[in-house]
C-alpha cells in the first residue's frame, strides 16, 4: 500500500482562507452566520473558518459542533461509533445561515445525516456546505458550496485529513494500492 501527500500545511491554510472569503462574499458579510463542524476534524476546520471569517468580516462568528452519529444510515454496519457532543452556540440557528463544515465529502451520507440533525435543533434560514476535500463518488444529490480542493480518487483509495488540533500536523494524504 502506498501513501502520498496531496496537500501540505500551506495548501490547507490557503484553502481555508479562500473558503472563508467565499463565505463572506456569498453571504454579504458575517451577520447571521453560524458555523457548525461535523466531528471530528470538521469541528477543527469549523473553528479555523469561523476565526478567519470573524477576522475578515470584523465581527465574531459563532461556531459549534453538530454530531450526526445517531442520524447515520449505516449504524447497523458500524455500531461502535461513539457520539460526540453537539454544541450549538448561544442564539441557536433559527433564521440564521448555517455553514456546515466537514473534512472530506465522499458519498454524501454524513451530510444527509447532518441535515436531519439540524432539523431537530431548529430552522435555519439557509444551510451551506464547506468541505476541505471533495473526492467525488456521491451516492446522494449533495453538492458543496465551498470546496478547498477537488481530489478525484478511486473508490478503493482512502483520503486522510490530518489536522494539528487532532493529529499534530496538517496534511491530506491518499492511501492506495
Laid out side by side, the sheet with 171-176 consists of: 2-8, 171-176, 158-162
How far is it, in rounded angstroms, from Cα 118 to Cα 100?
Answer: 10
pTM metric for this prediction: 0.94
**Domains in the chain, start-ordered, CATH in brackets?**
2-75+84-176 (3.40.50.2020)
State residue 129's pLDDT score.
98
How far is it, in rounded angstroms, from Cα 144 to Cα 105?
Answer: 8
1 pLDDT tier (thresholds 50, 70, 90): confident
How far is it, in rounded angstroms, from Cα 120 to Cα 10?
Answer: 37
Residues 9-43 pLDDT 10s: 999 999 999 999 999 999 999 999 999 999 999 99
Peptide bond into 40 cis (omega under 30): yes
Mean pLDDT along residues 83-109: 94
Q: Is 124 helix (H, G, I), strand (E, B) or coil?
A: coil
Amino acid at each position: 500500500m502506498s501513501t502520498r501527500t496531496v496537500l501540505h500545511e500551506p495548501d490547507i491554510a490557503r484553502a481555508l482562507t479562500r473558503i472563508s472569503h467565499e463565505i463572506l462574499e456569498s453571504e454579504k458579510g458575517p451577520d447571521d452566520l453560524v458555523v457548525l463542524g461535523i466531528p471530528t476534524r470538521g469541528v477543527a476546520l469549523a473553528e479555523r473558518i469561523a476565526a478567519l471569517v470573524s477576522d475578515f468580516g470584523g465581527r465574531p462568528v459563532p461556531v459549534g459542533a453538530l454530531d450526526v452519529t445517531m442520524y447515520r444510515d449505516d449504524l447497523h454496519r458500524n455500531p461502535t461509533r461513539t457520539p460526540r457532543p453537539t454544541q450549538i452556540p448561544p442564539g441557536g440557528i433559527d433564521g440564521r445561515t448555517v455553514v456546515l463544515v466537514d473534512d472530506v465529502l465522499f458519498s454524501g451520507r454524513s451530510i444527509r445525516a447532518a441535515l436531519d440533525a439540524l432539523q431537530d435543533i431548529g430552522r435555519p434560514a439557509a444551510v451551506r456546505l464547506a468541505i476541505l476535500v471533495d473526492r467525488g463518488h456521491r451516492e446522494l444529490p449533495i453538492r458543496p458550496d465551498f470546496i478547498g480542493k477537488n481530489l478525484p480518487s478511486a473508490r478503493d483509495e482512502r483520503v486522510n485529513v490530518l489536522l494539528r488540533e487532532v493529529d499534530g500536523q496538517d496534511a491530506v494524504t491518499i492511501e492506495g494500492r
